[in-house]
Amino acid sequence: MQKLQAIGRRPIYVLVFLVGIIAFLWPLGLPVSVQPDTLTVYKALDALPAGSLVWFGAEYDVSTKPELDPQVVAVFHHLFQKNLKPVIYGMWLRGPTIVQGLVEPIAEEYGKQYGVDWINLGHKPGTSTNLRLMTSNITEGAAGVDHFGKPLANYPIMRNVTALDKASGFRHVVIAEAGTPGNREYLGIVVKEKAIPMSVATLTMSIAENKPFVVAGDFTGQIPGLRGAAEYEYLVGKAGKGASGTDAQSLAALLVFGLVVLGNIGYLTSPRR
């Protein structure tokens, strides 16, 4: 009984590590309940007519990939399932490069052709100033080239696209954001001035900060962290790292709960002194 009260930290660390590894390698597919914010984003994109343009802001860096990448992957599965046409752009330097690597295999899975069904404008300097320029002249804002430095005029998807506005066919904005510049810039320039609805894929630590904007209707909804990724994967029928990550979290929590119970059993059954 005394041993149950004195389980060392090292065995606990090892057990949590093993549980996490098992969940990542062999996801259990534990059930998740879809939160209203995630469901609202899904419904908004699901209701868009086929062929609609969706602006995707890649506003994050390598440090937040573990939490945001699964959300991005789930959203692009949905966009291609609905035959929507994403246009990727980033005020963050590495954002478009990260998203490009995630989207290429998904596009191949759905038979989507770069430059016809989707395009990456890449990172352009100037942050909010350049984003505002995009709302009036995309060609000028993108310096006339895509992520790979090739002329935008070469791509069929850009033939009738002149600006980030409804007239060019943009029906929704989705951004994966990890800080500034991010949702505030899009809110002031795109949502308020161009009246294009926006959804946010965000970090867990930013959920509370974004919630007032969701309640006020400024954001259509938000995909909240890794759990939100698992929820979106469930909605689109594509289990991935979001599901395995939440499995690992759930199993680790159950393990710690079980160890706490064992410790208390040891305490309650040990001889009183």
List the pLDDT tens digit at each of the 273 positions of the chain: 666 666 777 888 888 888 777 776 766 666 677 899 999 999 999 999 999 999 999 999 999 998 999 999 999 999 999 999 999 999 999 999 999 999 999 999 999 999 999 999 999 999 999 999 999 999 999 999 999 999 999 999 999 999 999 999 999 999 999 999 999 999 999 999 999 999 999 999 999 999 999 999 999 999 998 888 889 998 998 876 656 666 666 677 777 888 788 778 777 777 764
Vertex 202: Cα angle to 157 and 47 (nearest 5): 50
Nearest CA to 75 out of 171, 176, 157, 164 is that of 176
DSSP secondary-structure letter at 158?
Answer: G
Reading the block at residue 194, the tokens are: 């161009």
From edge to edge, which strands make up the β-sheet containing 85-90? 119-123, 85-90, 53-59, 170-177, 198-202, 221-224
Burial state string for 239-264 with b = 16 or more CB within 10 A and e = fewer than 16: ebbbbbbbbbbbbbeebeeebeeeee
Q: What is d(CA 92, CA 96) in angstroms, rounded to the nearest whole number?
A: 8
Given a contact cutoff of 8 angstroms between Cβ atoms, the answer to whether 196 and 107 are in contact is no
CA atoms 77, 78, 81, 82: torsion sign: negative
Phi, psi of 90 (to 5 degrees): -145, 130
Reading the block at residue 181, the tokens are: 């510049």
Q: What is d(CA 27, CA 204) in angstroms, rounded to the nearest whole number?
A: 21
Reading the block at residue 254, the tokens are: 């159950």
